[in-house]
Every structure is written in structure tokens, then in C-alpha cells.
Amino acid sequence: MLDYHLHLWPHSKRETPMVIDQLAAYCEKAQAEGVVEIALTEHLHRFTQLDAVVGKFWEGAPGEQHLEASMAAYFDHHAQADLDAYVELCLEAKRQGLPVVMGMEVDYYRGQMDGVSELLAQYPFDVLLGSIHWIGIWCFDDVDGALAMAEWEAREVDACWDAYTEALEELAATGSCDVLAHPDLVKVAGYRPGAPAEWWDRIAEAAATSGMAAEVSSAGWRKPAQELYPAPGLLERLVAKGVPLTTASDAHKLEHVADRAGDVKTELLRVGVTELQGYRGRMPHRVAVSGEHHGHAH
């Protein structure tokens, strides 16, 4: 098993300490749960270097002026860390022999992914997760934010799923990332369409066509959705299309590292998955669900 989605800091914290002991503790917890390798994948929007690339992309969004101030505040709160220091922390963990690969969770910025990719290409990343965390400038997965949740009440659920899936399709087509993180994150707040198969089909097709892997994440069990990402029906579609998989906890603190890894493993075996996809230098290799490395993926 892998835990290929880990963060250094909770969203509530503005401070961004970088301590090697934290990574060592993450590795120890992961290994105790049967995880052989972890990927550190902090949010790109936590780093000050991103501002020069994407700027204040939330300004002037048609029909969404009421959300501009909250998005501005979100970025002001989060964008505190230095990307060079983060990379050095990951490299130091590797030098110390910790089973860590260096990653990043990369949000989709419509029309700006070439610039994002140019920034990231300056560093020796092993794996890049692609995520959709906002629809337009609405942070739809901020389940603790009253403004974000009020939008769920005001919008039509099918339209939200459609907009999310369209953004995911666009992200996949850019080729900028390796793994689709929490592929059906749009269900996070518990709002689901009556017949989700249409969107599941599109998400699975986007992954398969782009050559990306998809993430199987226990984080959904900790959210109002109360369900693994991806849902069983979507997982089955991904497997049927031969989409490679990673596994993840999306932990933002030690207690959630490798969270419910055993339950994730059970679900993988249920759908006949015995191999996961790991990464080095953004090149894939196979890792058995049971733990052993299995040479290179083709």
C-alpha cells in the first residue's frame, strides 16, 4: 500500500513550519499501517511562488462577485510557505533514507496550467496530483465555511457535478499532472445527483484518455459524504478502463496518516486490484497492494 497524498499543515494553520521529525513520524505511522511509501503533496497554493504565475485569478469572475472576498482571504491565509524550503525538506528526508517521494497537489487554474507546469518543472518532483477544489471561484469543498455551504443550497446539484466534471476533464487534458486526486470530490458535502453514472463515465474516460492514474482516498469517510473517493460505481469504471490507481489518506496531521488503509485495501481487492502505481521522477512503477515493489509499469 501507498499513502500518496499527505500535507504538512492543517488548513486552519497559517504558519508553515518545516520539520524533518514530522516526516519521520509520518513514515513511522504509515509503516505501522502496512504502507511502504509516502508522498508529501502539499497544496501548491500554500507557496508564495504561485502568485507570480496565477495572480488574483478570482477577480472579475462573472456572476460570482459575492465570492471574491472569500477567495482573496483564502489565498491570503494559505500562501505563506516557500517552495524552495519545501523541496529541500523533501530532499533531506530522502537523504536520511525515509521512504518519501516528493510531490505536490496542484489545483486546476483554467487557461494558466502552462505557467503552473513551467514553475513546477524547475524542481525534481516525483509525482503531481491534479485537483479540482473550486468551481469558478466557489470553494465547494469548504464544508466548514458557511458561505461555501450556502452555495450548495442555492445551486442545482446536477449543474454542480457537471461543472466539476468539465473542469476535471480540462485538467486531465492539459497533461500537467500524474494522478487525479479524490476524483469525485464534488460529493464531499453530501450532495449527490439521483443518477451519477453519467459523470462517473466522464471522469473515468478523462483519466483513461489522459493516461493519468486515479487516487483511492479514505478522506471521504471523514467528510459529510461518508464514502471512499471514488464511489464504488466510479472505482469499478476506472478499473474496467485499466486506469492505474494510487492510495491515499489526504492527511493534514499525523493521526490521519494511512487512515483506514486496511479498509482501502479491502475495497481494492474487492474489485480485483492487486497492483498500485508509484512514481519516481514522474515515471510510473508498480507496487503490489500487499506491499512489494514489482518492477516498472509499461
CATH at residue 278: 3.20.20.140
Contact yes or no for 244/230 (Cβ under 8 A)? no
Beta-ladder partners of 179 = 129, 213
Confidence at 297, pLDDT banded by 50, 70, 90: very low
Query: One-letter amino acid identity for 263?
Result: D
Per-residue pLDDT, 194 = 95
The full 3-state SS of the chain, as one line of letters, equals CEEEEECCCCCCCCCCCCCHHHHHHHHHHHHHCCCCEEEEEEEHHHEHHHHHHHCCCCCCCCCCHHHHHHHHHHHHHHCCECHHHHHHHHHHHHHCCCCEEEEEEEECCCCCHHHHHHHHCCCCCCEEEEECCCECCECCCCCCCHHHHHHHHHCCHHHHHHHHHHHHHHHHHHCCCCEECCCCHHHCCCCCCCCCHHHHHHHHHHHHHHCCEEEEEHHHHHCCCCCCECCHHHHHHHHHCCCCEEEECCECCHHHCCCCHHHHHHHHHHCCCCEEEEEECCEEEEEECCCCEEEECC
Per-residue pLDDT, 167 = 98
Residues 135, 132: Cα–Cα separation, whole Å: 8
Give the structural domain span for 218.
2-296
What average pLDDT does this structure show over 229-239? 98
Per-residue pLDDT, 293 = 46
Per-residue pLDDT, 290 = 84
Contact yes or no for 215/286 (Cβ under 8 A)? no
Per-residue pLDDT, 142 = 96
Contact yes or no for 230/238 (Cβ under 8 A)? yes
Q: How many CB atoms lie within 10 A of CB 245?
A: 25
Per-residue pLDDT, 62 = 87
C-alpha cell belonging to residue 20:
524533518
Percent of the chain with pLDDT over 90: 96
pLDDT in tens, 130-148: 999 999 999 999 999 999 9
Residues 85, 3: Cα–Cα separation, whole Å: 22
Mean pLDDT, the chain, whole residue set: 96
Per-residue pLDDT, 291 = 56
Count: domains in the chain: 1
In this model, does residue 252 exceed pLDDT 60? Answer: yes
In this model, does residue 295 exceed pLDDT 90? Answer: no
Helices 157-174, 113-120: axis angle to 10 degrees equals 50
Per-residue pLDDT, 294 = 44
Residue 217 sits at φ, ψ, to 5 deg, of -125, 135
pLDDT in tens, 146-199: 999 999 999 999 999 999 999 999 999 999 999 999 999 999 999 999 999 999
Per-residue pLDDT, 227 = 98
In this model, does residue 296 exceed pLDDT 50? Answer: no
